Structure 1
Amino acid sequence: MSERRPVAPNDLKAFWMPYTANRQFKSAPRMLVAAEGMHYTTADGRQILDGTAGLWCCNAGHKRPKIVKAIQQQAEELDYAPAFQMGHPKAFELANRLTELAPAPFEHAFFTNSGSEAVETALKIALAYHRAKGEGQRFRLVGRERGYHGVNFGGISVGGIVPNRRMFGTLLTGVDHLRHTHLPEQNAFTRGQPEHGAELADELERIAQLHGPETIAAVIVEPMAGSTGVLLPPKGYLQRLREICDRHGILLIFDEVITGFGRLGAPFAADYFDVMPDMIVCAKGLTNGVIPMGAVLATAAIHDAFMTGPEHMIELFHGYTYSGNPIASAAGLATLETYADEGLLTRGAEIGSYWEDALHGLRGLPHVVDIRNMGLIGAVELAPIAGAPTQRAFSAFLKAYEKGILIRTTGDIIAMSPPLIIDKDQIDQLVGTLAEVLQEID
């Protein structure tokens, strides 16, 4: 056996970081050691205003008392219970609370450990549903260009962000993609939903006729695409997708991992846009990002299609060791209570106009070619440096961190999605500091 080399307590080599420029980070680490409310604390004691709700997930801010207490108490009472053929009360309670919060058609929740797993679950349920209905010829899945649906094989197959796909071979077969909805030449600097582009949904009709609509199991889209840089659905677009799906018996899945739990000023984007899919995928804000957890919300029609045959038989051969984990369930319950206590699921609607005005005040600053917003989410798109794509936005990210704000970049787009507890002074600080950054970068 080879001898292990001694590792210093602060050695950064072993951790292969996700979605990170590892060499750059480890040459100049940005280490967060504590968090509370709207702020992170760095290893050198600085306060960083959180402009991204962690990673789109800490919707109620950080170190929330009810959530902390719930996790502590649950760990002491019941740390783990088997997820197969056994249960514990809080998983059932959370499922009830979640379906009460969701729009009326959704009566069942299947728990996972992340948004990526929830996407895989929804895709598998869609395929299995059609088989249960005697339509096993429906095997095709349709995603969208620039869509992000996590990092498992199903998710990157229906997803449409090129760097997420190009390294991993052929992925799933039988997958097609709609065009994305980003039309900057017509919709630049739009406040809220763009006016132009509803006809892009008709691409689904073309795909259906190409392959045969009877072969398509499901379409999955983010109602508002987040990780690709905040791409907003044009007015009427989601309604047209729903109509085409209904016409051809295709299931419609909303990936609400980002938009769920108040990000747009309503509990779910399905509420906000008044368009009901057949399944909703959620995660992130479900536990305020504190404990990994995701869920698939399904209608009674989908759930009940599986509830046939002998009662002792497993209806769906799918699940995870940690589905409905006790500590995650406790965190989820406390998170939903926190949202309810403080009215956070609709706060984005209340403060959204102030957020919108502040963001669009950046128009005209150096390098800014577009600004987009909805609810408490926004994007500032920058002109790329010729021959060095992503460099300008990454430079803005580094300088913003130095100045005490946390933003997120994707390509040459700066995306912001602050905790729903943000106040007007903090919006001024976040956007004002970003304005300084934009005037200082090359």
Structure 2
Amino acid sequence: MNIHETGYPLMAMAPNVITPATLGLDQDAPLEALMQAGASHLWLHASPIQTLVTQADRRILVEGRGCRVTDAQGHTYLDALSGQWLVNVGHGRAEIAEAMARQAKALAYGNASRAATLPAIQLAAVLAHLTPGDLSTVFFSSGGSEAVESALKIARQYHALRGEPERYKVIARRGSYHGATYGAMSASGSRSGVDSYFGPLLSGTLSVSAPYCYRCDYRKTYPECDVYCVDAIEDLLRYESPNTVAAVIAEPVSAACGIVVPPAEYLPRLREICDRHGVLLILDEVITGFGRTGKMFASEHWDVVPDIMTLAKGLSSGYAPIAATVCRQPIADIFGGANGKAIGHLLTFGGQPVACAAALANLDILQRENLVRNAEQQGAYLLSRLHDLASRHPSVGDVRGLGLLCALELVTDRRTQQPFPVDGPEIHYLLEKLAELGVLTRAEGNLYLAPPLCIERHEIDELTGIVDTALSHFEEAHSYL
């Protein structure tokens, strides 16, 4: 019997093998054929069927380098959203691909509950040292939704093992987004488009208003308000009875709300409130982690250590699907010891070694090239350029940001702060104009600008120049001028 160099026996090629080439979909296939195949067979997330051929803002991306991506038609764009808030080290990093290939050749998979792999151990140790305080025990999963789902289950089981099974409620902030799995979706504070399809959501998921000073639900003004929005969390805790609440979950900077940066007192007081009532604090750093805000983790801006931190996106910069739920030592200790109870939770791809190898290579780049510092410096410059730009554009009601996580809030009238419809034709017009000028991003009433952390000053000048031009077209088309 003939043997491959890998040690596997040679097999005869099976007849009628289906491959992209046999379907006429190899890399040299006509664009029209690829678009139609995608429309017929690929269901893009959060999109209608056949979106590729029915909506102008969908495209096939084929290459990326640094802060730029290229589509199948040869058009190149500045990626102003880092893919989906995650390509922190930039596109086209060969060293990450090479690290993944080496690991896949050595070992592509190990049983997540019965055996450890070297990359998973290494990555867990690196994260334990990078994360603040005594966050030290890492549970791996595949994406941000799973990381949050894991955090919620850990919190529930933690209280049950301590003899408080009645602690099952979770408090979030309105407008927040923590994921699309059922528990994470239920614990989010975004109800639009959810209740009509998936309600009723999980019981015991509550929400209060976010620290959204531009549109304060309490009709108050900072600092005279004394940050009432955080006291409202304690009011809700007392109303619900603190011994029924398992956790409060919050993004340090809420992307879903429109890059809402909280007042300086907010997170430290939230930490105190949770401690006072024996409630776990979960900080969702899926978007804000790994340098995005100019610190390795956004919570470090306020010197707050959560009980549980959820991580994803920038953990691998999108080169592989991986996420992590990191717990403080006292939380993990409940599951250990001679009488330790196994966590009632497992995921097939948790700690997948190729994904861990990608994350390790990504974190090495992030630290070696000092991209966190670059995010701080370039983010400050970006924010200053956006403030200057806003002074010339009546469609900009507010400018917000921290590091390379920024947004312009768009309004029909600055005086009334009247917003545009989230999915209205005005927003689509602006996005199409930006793409025409060479920028890809996202807008839903807020125009988001969160480029890769490797961006340079001249690219920020290019980006803000295009935004300036696009807003001028937008305002002229919608009778601002």
TM norm structure 1: 0.92
Give the CA deviation at 1:269.
Answer: 1.2
Alpha-carbon RMSD? 2.0
User: Match of 1:252, SS?
Assistant: strand
Deviation per CA, 1:363-413, whole angstroms, max 9, x where unpaired? 131421111111111111112598854322222112111111111112x11
Note closer, same or farther for the CA distance 1:294–1:77 as it changes in structure 2 (3 Å cut): same
Q: Tell me, yes or no, if the aligned pair for 1:306 and 1:316 is still in contact at 8 Å.
A: yes
Which of 407, 411, 419 is 1:379 aligned to?
Answer: 407
Give the CA deviation at 1:352.
Answer: 2.5
The answer as to 2:128 corresponding to 1:92 is: no
Return 5+ residue gaps in structure 2 as ranges: 1-21, 26-33, 413-417
The answer as to 2:97 corresponding to 1:64 is: no
2:30 maps to what in 1? none
The answer as to 2:284 corresponding to 1:244 is: no
Instruction: Return the alpha-carbon distance in structure 2 between the equivalents of residues 185 and 320 of structure 1.
Output: 39
Give 1:239-278 correspondences, 5 Å limit: 239-278=268-307
Q: Tell me, yes or no, if the aligned pair for 1:119 and 1:150 is still in contact at 8 Å.
A: yes
Instruction: Name the aligned partner's letter for residue 404 of structure 1.
Output: G
Q: Tell me, yes or no, if the aligned pair for 1:70 and 1:331 is still in contact at 8 Å.
A: yes
The answer as to 2:457 corresponding to 1:427 is: no
Instruction: Return the alpha-carbon distance in structure 2 between the equivalents of residues 358 and 149 of structure 1.
Output: 30
2:70 maps to what in 1? 41
Give the CA deviation at 1:344.
Answer: 1.1
The answer as to 2:337 corresponding to 1:304 is: no
Segment of structure 1 superposing worse, 107-116 or 29-38: 29-38
Give 1:73-88 correspondences, 5 Å limit: 73-88=102-117
Instruction: Return the alpha-carbon distance in structure 1 between the equivalents of residues 433 and 284 of structure 2.
Output: 32
Instruction: Return the alpha-carbon distance in structure 1 between the equivalents of residues 104 and 331 of structure 2.
Output: 34
Instruction: Return the alpha-carbon distance in structure 2 between the equivalents of residues 196 and 30 of structure 1.
Output: 48
TM norm structure 2: 0.85
Instruction: Name the aligned partner's letter for residue 395 of structure 2.
Output: H
Deviation per CA, 1:172-203, whole angstroms, max 9, x where unpaired? 1011111122121689xxxxxx7576220011
Give the CA deviation at 1:414.
Answer: 0.7
Give the CA deviation at 1:355.
Answer: 1.2
Give the CA deviation at 1:351.
Answer: 2.3
Give the CA deviation at 1:309.
Answer: 4.5
Deviation per CA, 1:6-45, whole angstroms, max 9, x where unpaired? 9774222221211235555422342211111111011111
Instruction: Return the alpha-carbon distance in structure 2 between the equivalents of residues 440 and 115 of structure 1.
Output: 36
Identity of aligned residues (%): 36
Give the CA deviation at 1:211.
Answer: 1.1
2:10 maps to what in 1? none
User: Match of 1:414, SS?
Assistant: strand
Note closer, same or farther for the CA distance 1:298–1:407 as it changes in structure 2 (3 Å cut): same
Higher RCO (C-alpha 8 Å, min separation 6): 1
Give 1:229-378 correspondences, 5 Å limit: 229-310=258-339, 315-363=342-390, 364-378=392-406
Deviation per CA, 1:283-319, whole angstroms, max 9, x where unpaired? 00001111101001101100001114457xx621211
Instruction: Return the alpha-carbon distance in structure 2 between the equivalents of residues 168 and 100 of structure 1.
Output: 39
Deviation per CA, 1:251-306, whole angstroms, max 9, x where unpaired? 00000001000011111112122111101000000011111010011011000011
Give the CA deviation at 1:163.
Answer: 2.5
Instruction: Name the aligned partner's letter for residue 375 of structure 1.
Output: G
User: Match of 2:400, SS?
Assistant: strand
The answer as to 2:214 corresponding to 1:184 is: yes
Note closer, same or farther for the CA distance 1:429–1:138 as it changes in structure 2 (3 Å cut): same
Deviation per CA, 1:406-425, whole angstroms, max 9, x where unpaired? 11112x11111110010111
Deviation per CA, 1:212-266, whole angstroms, max 9, x where unpaired? 1111110000011013321111220111111111110000000000100001111
The answer as to 2:183 corresponding to 1:143 is: no
Instruction: Return the alpha-carbon distance in structure 2 between the equivalents of residues 388 and 178 of structure 1.
Output: 23
Instruction: Return the alpha-carbon distance in structure 2 between the equivalents of residues 303 and 186 of structure 1.
Output: 37
Instruction: Return the alpha-carbon distance in structure 1 between the equivalents of residues 109 and 464 of structure 2.
Output: 43
User: Match of 2:301, SS?
Assistant: helix
Segment of structure 1 superposing worse, 252-261 or 63-72: 63-72
2:449 maps to what in 1? 416
User: Match of 2:171, SS?
Assistant: strand
1:171 maps to what in 2? 201
Instruction: Name the aligned partner's letter for residue 199 of structure 2.
Output: G
Note closer, same or farther for the CA distance 1:69–1:431 as it changes in structure 2 (3 Å cut): same
Q: Tell me, yes or no, if the aligned pair for 2:264 and 2:302 is still in contact at 8 Å.
A: no
Instruction: Name the aligned partner's letter for residue 407 of structure 1.
Output: T
Return 5+ residue gaps in structure 1 as ranges: 1-5, 188-193
Note closer, same or farther for the CA distance 1:196–1:432 as it changes in structure 2 (3 Å cut): farther
The answer as to 2:80 corresponding to 1:51 is: yes
Q: Tell me, yes or no, if the aligned pair for 2:139 and 2:325 is still in contact at 8 Å.
A: yes
1:107 maps to what in 2? 136
Report the structure number with the largest CA radius of gyration.
Answer: 2
Note closer, same or farther for the CA distance 1:283–1:309 as it changes in structure 2 (3 Å cut): same
Give the CA deviation at 1:350.
Answer: 2.2
Q: Tell me, yes or no, if the aligned pair for 2:133 and 2:305 is still in contact at 8 Å.
A: no
Instruction: Return the alpha-carbon distance in structure 2 between the equivalents of residues 433 and 177 of structure 1.
Output: 38
Segment of structure 1 superposing worse, 241-250 or 7-16: 7-16
Instruction: Give the total of aligned pairs.
Output: 428
Give the CA deviation at 1:322.
Answer: 0.6
Instruction: Name the aligned partner's letter for residue 397 of structure 1.
Output: L
Q: Tell me, yes or no, if the aligned pair for 1:393 and 1:413 is still in contact at 8 Å.
A: no
1:216 maps to what in 2? 245
Instruction: Return the alpha-carbon distance in structure 1 between the equivalents of residues 343 and 362 of structure 2.
Output: 29
The answer as to 2:455 corresponding to 1:403 is: no
User: Match of 1:390, SS?
Assistant: coil
Segment of structure 1 superposing worse, 343-352 or 143-152: 343-352
